[in-house]
Amino acid sequence: MELHALTIHQAAAMLRAGSLSSLELTQALLQRIDKVQPAVHAYLCVTAERALDDARAADRRRAAGEDGPLLGIPLALNDLLCTRGVPTTAGSRLLQDFVPPYNATVIDRLSRAGAVLLGKTNTDEFGMGSSTENSAYGATRNPWDLSRVPGGASGGSAAAVAADACLGALGSDTGGSVRQPAAMCGVAGLKPTYGRVSRYGLVACASSLDQVGPIVKDVTDCALLLQAIAGHDPQDATSADLPVPDYTAALTGSVAGMRLGLPRELFVKGLQAEVEAAVREAARTLESMGAELVDVSLPHTEYAPPSFLLISSAEASAGLARFDGVRYGYAAPDAPDLWSTYSLTRGRGLGDEAKRRIVLGTYTLSAGCYDARYLKAQRVRTLIRQDFDRALSQCDALIAPTTPTTAFRIGERSADPLAMYLADDCTLSLNLAGLCGISIPCGQAGSLPIGLQVLGRAYDESTILRVAHAYEQATEWHLQCPHMPVRG
């Protein structure tokens, strides 16, 4: 097998056995990136020298007797994550020359584990989008069909994993931005429970909804990466001070005796027939493995999209207020006074979707709107969380589609915000509820991947990993790879 086609755990075994060095592995990945980057445009910044330095350091640590599941493993990081000394743009012109003076906590944890940083991947600007088309640096293309989107916002990371241009990656999920591109790119992606993983150093999209999550080739890799980044961080006041279980121990391969709920409302209006068929077939597979399927209801699902949009826009309007051309980032050079420094910097530095959401968010929070829109959306959010709590009191986990459709064509929805928002109809409610969910491949429509979502209780990533892993091992969808034309 080609080195770039390895999973994290396969590579780790070879590194451990001494049949491979991190330097060789990293060189192979850098060559692979070079081959696929022109067609896919997954990366915004490839840190080749840094990667080779990281690889040599990992090989030295291994020679000194150290080991670990991520030691010497080359990974890609979403450009919403601050990396010290490495450009971090958040997919925006506003941060085009921003070089953070510090690492996000998750980056520090990966470095301590000896991972190798290959580069920063493309994202919708400030995480706002469902296709990565809102990046100020060009769209990323889906390796399964280069005329189609990889999903978003973490489309760069998902495409990099699918194209074997990294062994694994981190993305961030606000309304589905890890799970949805994972589904569209035929890979695995997990959104942890809100508070499970530190947000320190994650450029905020919506602070009560955001979580950093792994995007990887299989569920075993997902467990390994989650293990490394999960846990309390005193620098993130919203991070949970709770112990982190051994996620690998959850990968038993068995779902016998488990109760899996199918929430009828997550089989949304507009669900593509092949997606529904594949997800229901996956449910039957799990049933044949000994799980009991239960019909459940999440009655307020249809209200999740508007609730999400008002809440996330309100939070974005506050979170993006810091970008004012004063302390960092782009600054309008011709501004005659302070107010126009702010306005011109932000007006020119931000793209349409970000500006629309700031306008919508500001409006939603204004006197006269606050109660009827913002508080209303937050009350609906409570009902959505109560729906999940009720359903998950009857089941161990829930099974649903990840996206209503397979990957759509680049440009197809970019002129219509409402059409674009539909892509997250199956994922948004989980962020509002703050619970955990994973997407894994479960089929194809033509040559386009279909994702299965497994949703779970707060801090119960072990259960969703267990279900996802058992399904994965009973099928071969996780072994499918796109056939891409690559530069020779």
Partner 1 sequence: MTLSEEQVRRIADLAKLALTDDEVQRYAHQLSSVLAWAEALQRVDTDGIPPTAQVQTQCNVTRPDEVRPSLPIDEALANAPHRSDGHIRVHPILDQS
3-state helix, strand, coil in the chain (%, to 5): 45, 15, 40
Residue 172's DSSP bridge partners are 212
Binding partner 1 by CB under 8 A: which of 372, 390, 411, 447? Answer: 372
Binding partner 1 by CB under 8 A: which of 5, 249, 256, 359? Answer: 359
Binding partner 1 by CB under 8 A: which of 34, 108, 274, 324? Answer: 324
Among 2-10, 19-27, 273-281, 355-363, the segment contacting partner 1 (CB under 8 A): 355-363
Q: Does 344 bind partner 1 (CB under 8 A)?
A: yes
User: Which element (helix H / strand E) includes 78?
Assistant: strand 74-78
| Gap between the Cα atoms of 389 and 129, Å rounded | 28
Kindly calculate the radius of gyration of the chain based on its CA atoms and give it in whole angstroms: 21
Question: Least distance from C-beta 260 to partner 1, angstroms?
Answer: 23
Which residue, chain included where needed, has tokens 């499918």?
480
Binding partner 1 by CB under 8 A: which of 43, 342, 459, 477? Answer: 342
C-alpha closest to that of 8 among 261, 335, 226, 313:
226
Among 111-119, 152-160, 172-180, 346-354, the segment contacting partner 1 (CB under 8 A): 346-354
Q: Considering beta carbons, is residue 29 or 432 the nearer one to partner 1?
A: 432
Among 28-36, 142-150, 173-181, 319-327, the segment contacting partner 1 (CB under 8 A): 319-327
Binding partner 1 by CB under 8 A: which of 56, 259, 280, 355? Answer: 355
Binding partner 1 by CB under 8 A: which of 338, 390, 394, 409? Answer: 338
| Gap between the Cα atoms of 427 and 177, Å rounded | 9
Q: Provide the token pair at 247.
A: 């996620």
Strand ranges, E, within 107-199: 116-121, 168-173, 188-191
Positions 57 through 76 that interact with partner 1 (CB under 8 A): none
Q: Considering beta carbons, is residue 428 or 442 the nearer one to partner 1?
A: 428
CA angle 464, 465, 466 (to 5 degrees): 90
Report the chain's terminal Cα–Cα distance, integer Å.
18
Q: Considering beta carbons, is residue 378 or 444 the nearer one to partner 1?
A: 378
Q: Does 126 bind partner 1 (CB under 8 A)?
A: no
Q: Judge whether 366 and 346 are in contact, CB under 8 Å.
A: no
| Residues whose CB falls within 8 Å of the CB of residue 92, separated by 6 or more in sequence, listed in order | 125, 126, 136, 349, 350, 351, 354
Positions 439 through 478 that interact with partner 1 (CB under 8 A): 458
Residue 483 burial (10 A CB sphere; 0-12, 13-18, 19+)? exposed
Backbone angles phi, psi at 439, to 5 degrees: -115, 135
Question: Least distance from C-beta 121 to partner 1, angstroms?
Answer: 21
Q: Considering beta carbons, is residue 199 or 469 the nearer one to partner 1?
A: 199
Q: Does 413 bind partner 1 (CB under 8 A)?
A: no
Q: Does 194 bind partner 1 (CB under 8 A)?
A: yes
Positions 196 through 255 that interact with partner 1 (CB under 8 A): 207-208, 234, 237-238, 240-241
Positions 422 through 441 that interact with partner 1 (CB under 8 A): 432-434
| Gap between the Cα atoms of 282 and 269, Å rounded | 20
Binding partner 1 by CB under 8 A: which of 293, 356, 412, 486? Answer: 356
Q: Are strands 436-445 and 448-456 parallel, antiparallel or unpaired?
A: antiparallel
Question: Least distance from C-beta 232 to partner 1, angstroms?
Answer: 10
Question: Least distance from C-beta 245 to partner 1, angstroms?
Answer: 19
Q: Provide the token pair at 359.
A: 């306008």
Binding partner 1 by CB under 8 A: which of 306, 444, 480, 486? Answer: 306
Strand ranges, E, within 198-315: 211-216, 259-263, 292-296
Among 169-177, 286-294, 357-365, 472-480, the segment contacting partner 1 (CB under 8 A): 357-365
Q: Considering beta carbons, is residue 69 or 434 the nearer one to partner 1?
A: 434
| Gap between the Cα atoms of 211 and 194, Å rounded | 6
Number of residues near partner 1 (by CB under 8 A): 72
Kindly state the DSSP code that residue 251 receives in the 8-state scheme. Answer: -
Question: Least distance from C-beta 209 to partner 1, angstroms?
Answer: 9
Among 36-44, 57-65, 139-147, 348-356, the segment contacting partner 1 (CB under 8 A): 348-356
Q: Judge whether 438 and 277 are in contact, CB under 8 Å.
A: no
Coil, helix or strand at residue 362: helix
Positions 376 through 405 that interact with partner 1 (CB under 8 A): 376-383, 385
Q: Does 350 bind partner 1 (CB under 8 A)?
A: yes
